[in-house]
Amino acid sequence: MNPKKIRTRFAPSPTGFMHVGNLRTALYSYLLAKKAGGVFILRIEDTDQARYVEGAIDKICQILKETGLHYDEGPDIGGDYGPYIQSQRKELYLEYAQKLIETGNAYYCFCDKERLAKIREQCRIAKIDPKYDGHCRNLSPEEIQKKLEDKKPFVIRQKMPTTGITIFDDQVFGTIQVDFSQLDDQVLIKADGLPTYNFANVIDDHLMEITHIIRGSEFLISTPKYNQLYKAFGWEIPTLVHVPPVMKAAGQKMSKRLGDASYDDFIKKGYLKDAIINYIALLGWSPGDNREIFTLPELVNAFDINNINKAPAIFDEAKLSWLSGEYIRKLSLEEFVQMSLPYIKQAVSRVPIDIQKISQLLQPRLEKLTDIPAQINFIDSVPDYPLDLYAHQKMKSTPESALRFLKSALPVLNAIDGWSEKQIHTAVFELINHLKIKTGQLLWPLRVALSGKQSTPGGFIEIAYLLGKEETIKRINDAIRRLETETMPGV
């Protein structure tokens, strides 16, 4: 008998943004399917219409495609198991709920909001988890029929066993045992006729022949209810893979409000998408060795659900920054120019300016694209800076020595015929040898004079070439005048 083809799914709710944890679930589901030559499905679970955000489905599709997680079936591309949006399958769920009622595994519940609120308050006072008290579990057929004829609003609840235990296996957390007495009779069909997530996902996973379910460990507590539904219908339970949460720090959840929860947040911060996917893969999973940099095809080859950790994963943005820097340095210069251009234009309006040269200087030192403007904001004009910036112990530079050496450099730079990096280098180092000084004693004040910054992409020679001879001479003259005025009044 041929083994079943692996089919996984990513089933987000269209609530506005792609949380890092959701994207990791999509990634793991994609990797598991593709490694086995299986099928990866996108399904939209929009049964909670109150939280639906216009345009969210398009955004989910866009992010999956943008990050390379191409799904084989989904709402915008179709497939043999559609529709792939739950609100378009409404009648289907009601039909299956009726079957559960007929077999005694579900029941109509006519309790109104006031009664349910009272039950919740009683549970709160008793300091126990909210749980329906089963008031409608044993209504007679006649009572049920009368309430239906009177058009009394109802939901359909799952009838859970009240005694005994249930046991199930999870690929990450192992064998789990739960007492039925802890479980609530969950709502399957809401008063508006739409299914709850807890019901619809079971029906859809079966009908779409999902073989492996990857989801967050917060769903472990609900899994016995899902499994009881599978058993009530006589269906095979898929392989379960529950992954730990992603935390900002121990005990601290990531926060959309603080800008550290969604894929878009990190794109806006200037991280490369490939670096984000690479890093997310390592949140709670390891390849079994010390390797940290993977292309998506390499992740497919390396992925193994047996290497998923039980412990919560801590999102270390410093690690993401390092990884993003590694990806930036792997880009061709042409690719980097294209990516960096919008950020360069935020800081530089001078024309003409050598964008390729700026990019060459930036690429070796960047971790994220949004760092670019602050690194090159001196190109248009020198920002205000304190004169003690000329003081640098390692470079053996002081404001007084800086003034002397800037004055020495001015005629040498003025005398350069042409303005290539080689010519600037030759002239400056001949002067250093002539003055018998340390390299930093001249190059440090020259760089400060041109940039007003302690750290720049490239040194004085690269910056001088980029700015051009006229602007370089002007800035050195400006620095000399300021040093004379503020450091040595009356000179």
Active centre residues (catalytic) = 256
Could you say which DSSP state residue 302 is in? H
Residue identified by tokens 């799904």 is 71
Alpha carbon distance 256, 247 (integer Å): 12
Alpha carbon distance 108, 365 (integer Å): 64
Single-letter amino acid, residue 79? G
Single-letter amino acid, residue 15? T
Residue 385's Cβ-side half-sphere holds a number of Cα atoms within 13 Å equal to 24
Cis before 352? omega within 30: yes
Asked if 24 contacts 62 with a C-beta cutoff of 8 angstroms, the reply is: no
Asked if 170 contacts 240 with a C-beta cutoff of 8 angstroms, the reply is: yes
The closest of 444, 447, 445, 450 to 471, measured between CA atoms, is 450
Contacting residues for 460 by C-beta, under 8 A, at least 6 apart: 428, 443, 446, 447, 450
What is the CA 76 to chain-centroid distance, rounded?
A: 23
Host H or E run for residue 370? none
